[in-house]
Amino acid sequence: MKRPTTDKYLKGDPINAPTAVRAAYQQELRDLIEEIAHEVVNEISAWSEHPDVKEFYAEDDSPASQARILTNSIISKFLAKFSRKAKTIADRFTKRSNEANKASVHSSIRKLTGNLALPAAPLSPAMQEVLTAATAENVSLIKSIGSEYLGKVQQSVLRSLSQGTNISQLVKDINKLKGVSLRRAQIIAYDQTHKISNALSRERFKRAGLKKYIWRHTGGSNEPRPLHVHYDGRTFEYDTPVLIQKAQGKQPEVYGFPGTLINCSCRMQPVLGFDDEE
């Protein structure tokens, strides 16, 4: 149930998504993309030195079948590399997120309760579920960066052969694909850091006995969600998902919490002392 807030209620600090965790995650994704993109370009360049390929560029006699074999081999090889590293990177991300969130939540509760610190406690099943789900989601996202990038590499090679572009242009085209993947990694790091921060905050505040939060909309977006702007400063219950996206066209209504939707950087500010009467 949402209602306006007043200053008579005790409030903790809203929990910000940790920028250091986001930066570390983005850098790890960047390093992985840079490493694999470098190796891909090396393999494509080495392939271009094959006599059949040189002959194609000289005589317009396409070695398309060989190109498919090579690019299929590249995709298989480097997808496996993305898969091997995805779990390690995702595990580090969720571990760092959890440690940062624990410190921020404890600090917020100390402010709310007048420096009353929470006792140390093991992860609750709900928090462990958040971490497990976040790890699985980020493993999938990291793998998807690889499959999307490598699929476009193959398309570029085959397009180069069909259009007769030279190998130097092909390498330039492949290098541009790296930039697309790096931008996607940046979006993923931003979105996932906010998602896990809000999910862990919600479970930790609930475990501390708090029932409600103030929705805090974070400005700065070029296209803020009107519904989220409307919710800013209003109170909701941690146990009750609210409408966060209205039905539009083929898109159904979505219910959830701050940070549920992609690139939503809204936050939850814990409160204590609200009257439960309607």
Q: Which pLDDT tens digit goes with each residue over 207-224?
A: 988 999 999 998 766 788
- What pLDDT shows up at residue 120? 64
Q: Is the pLDDT of residue 115 over 80?
A: no
Is the CB of residue 45 less than 8 Å from the CB of residue 140? Answer: no
List the single range of 35-49, 53-67, 135-149, 161-175 with lowest mean pLDDT: 53-67
**pLDDT one-digit tens code per residue, 153-188:** 988 888 887 777 777 888 888 889 999 999 999 999
* Rounded Cα gap, residues 154 and 43, in angstroms: 12
Tally of domains in the chain = 1
Does a structural domain hold residue 180? yes
Q: Which domain holds residue 140?
A: 18-209
Q: Is the pLDDT of residue 278 over 50?
A: no
* Rounded Cα gap, residues 79 and 174, in angstroms: 16
* Rounded Cα gap, residues 52 and 74, in angstroms: 18
Neighbours of 209 (CB within 10 A): 8
Does a structural domain hold residue 83? yes
Does a structural domain hold residue 251? no
The structure's pTM equals 0.86
b or e along 246-260 (b: 16 or more beta carbons within 10 Å of the residue's beta carbon)? Answer: eeeeeeeeeeebbbb
Q: Is the pLDDT of residue 60 over 80?
A: no
**pLDDT one-digit tens code per residue, 62-96:** 556 666 777 788 788 889 988 999 999 999 999 99
- What pLDDT shows up at residue 1? 43
Is the CB of residue 32 less than 8 Å from the CB of residue 85? Answer: yes
- What pLDDT shows up at residue 94? 97
Does a structural domain hold residue 63? yes
Does a structural domain hold residue 73? yes
Percent of the chain with pLDDT over 90: 58
Does a structural domain hold residue 131? yes
pLDDT tier at 9 (50, 70, 90 boundaries)?
A: confident
* Rounded Cα gap, residues 48 and 70, in angstroms: 11
Mean pLDDT computed over every residue of the chain: 86
Does a structural domain hold residue 231? no
Does a structural domain hold residue 95? yes
